[in-house]
Amino acid sequence: MIDGKKVLYSGMQATGNLTLGNYLGALKNWVTLSDEYECFYGVVDMHSITVRQDPAELRKRARNLLTLYIAAGLDPKKNCIYYQSHVSGHAELAWILNCYTYMGELNRMTQFKDKSAKHADNINAGLFTYPVLMASDILLYQADVVPVGIDQRQHLELTRDVAERFNSIYGDVFTVPEAYYGKAGAKIMSLQNPEKKMSKSDENPNASIYLMDDPDTIMRKFKRAVTDSEACICYRDEQPGVRNLLDIYCACTGKTPDEAVAEFEGKGYGDLKVAVGESVVSVLKPLQDRYAELSKDKAYIDSVIKENAEKANYYAMKTLRKVQKKVGFPEKVR
């Protein structure tokens, strides 16, 4: 609790081009929840270097991502929007929690398996212990709730296990966080292969809607989206392409799947694709305009970076000191 409010933590990697999946699965919910909670949103650049990055490019993308958080509607006066690498407590807590996490647990992480298959020439220890850094992000701020897409479920479960393990040894040190998944949009699938999640690292640009795609590109990608030959606009597992389009539509319009299905009764896939495309454009266009405006204001973004890093450090240090004391590190002599 901070000033009587529960705490929310979430973060995003500044790698690749953000997709509609990132927005509907995470960012959009962050904005909705931001009044109710005391919020911390990290640009998790320390996670990004588990895969090789071009340094200048990473710096640029990190700043763009931070700007995007604000453009999406997160007020940096109320929400702590910061770079993970500006708060050394993340790395310090991660080291400690590495010693309370088992190899067997990390070995089971599907994201590690996927990423190491993809980057076979660089299976580094950071990639393996990535979930411990993520647990540290969350536990450092004593978060009650963590809004994420479903692909992060396993990491959230590990975070809870590590927190409970630590608490069972040392007493109530960490708040055990709950994951929050939005009603619609928690798993947006590829437009070209609806069995696969929409991902920023997909090689086929038609598979993903990028947050900065212009309206024509968005409409074109939806028109090419893979559906099926059932000719039925139904919300069911057997029609993953159509279901994904309906999910996107519901996440953008706030409608339920039943309402959406009723609306498209008697219509064809072409109509559905146009309506989904338009609903996405109407959500992304204001975001893009605001982003373009904010990007010009260098001094403002710099001030957000500075002030929020201080705030994040303050709360991070509070937890870190407590943890250091519990595990037996000597107090500093002042």
Query: How do the residues of the chain divide into helix, strand and coil, expressed in percent and rounded to 5?
Result: 55, 10, 35
Smallest gap from residue 52 Cβ to ligand TYM (A) = 16
**CB hemisphere CA count around 147 (13 angstroms):** 25
**Closest CA relative to residue 126, chosen from 141, 142, 143, 106:** 106
Tokens of 327: 């595990």
Write the CA distances from 263 to 168, 231, 237, 251, 323, integer angstroms.
Answer: 52, 15, 20, 15, 54
Q: Is the CB of 11 or the CB of 277 nearer to ligand TYM? A: 11
Pairing of strands 7-12, 38-43: parallel
**Does 149 sit near ligand TYM (CB under 6 A)?**
yes
66 in Cβ contact with 81 (< 8 Å): yes
**Does 21 sit near ligand TYM (CB under 6 A)?**
yes
Of the residues 12, 139, 248, 281, which one makes contact with ligand TYM according to CB under 6 A: 12
**Does 71 sit near ligand TYM (CB under 6 A)?**
no
115 is annotated as an active-site residue: yes
Residues 25-44 that bind ligand TYM (CB under 6 A): 25-26, 44
223 is annotated as an active-site residue: no
27 in Cβ contact with 72 (< 8 Å): yes
215 in Cβ contact with 178 (< 8 Å): no
Smallest gap from residue 186 Cβ to ligand TYM (A) = 6
Among 112-120, 146-154, 168-176, 305-313, which window interacts with ligand TYM (CB under 6 A)? 146-154
DSSP H or E run through 172? none
**Closest CA relative to residue 160, chosen from 104, 107, 97:** 97
Smallest gap from residue 268 Cβ to ligand TYM (A) = 26
200 is annotated as an active-site residue: yes
Classified as helix, coil or strand, 69 is helix
**Does 148 sit near ligand TYM (CB under 6 A)?**
yes
Of the residues 139, 198, 211, 323, which one makes contact with ligand TYM according to CB under 6 A: 198
Smallest gap from residue 333 Cβ to ligand TYM (A) = 34
Classified as helix, coil or strand, 274 is helix
**Does 241 sit near ligand TYM (CB under 6 A)?**
no
**CB hemisphere CA count around 129 (13 angstroms):** 17
Q: Is the CB of 44 or the CB of 226 nearer to ligand TYM? A: 44
**Does 76 sit near ligand TYM (CB under 6 A)?**
no
Size of the site for ligand TYM (CB under 6 A): 24
**Does 186 sit near ligand TYM (CB under 6 A)?**
yes
Q: Is the CB of 25 or the CB of 240 nearer to ligand TYM? A: 25
Of the residues 7, 134, 145, 250, which one makes contact with ligand TYM according to CB under 6 A: 134
What residues line the site for ligand TYM (CB under 6 A)? 9-13, 21-22, 25-26, 44, 47, 134, 137-138, 146, 148-149, 151-152, 186-188, 197-198
> Catalytic residue numbers?
115, 197, 200
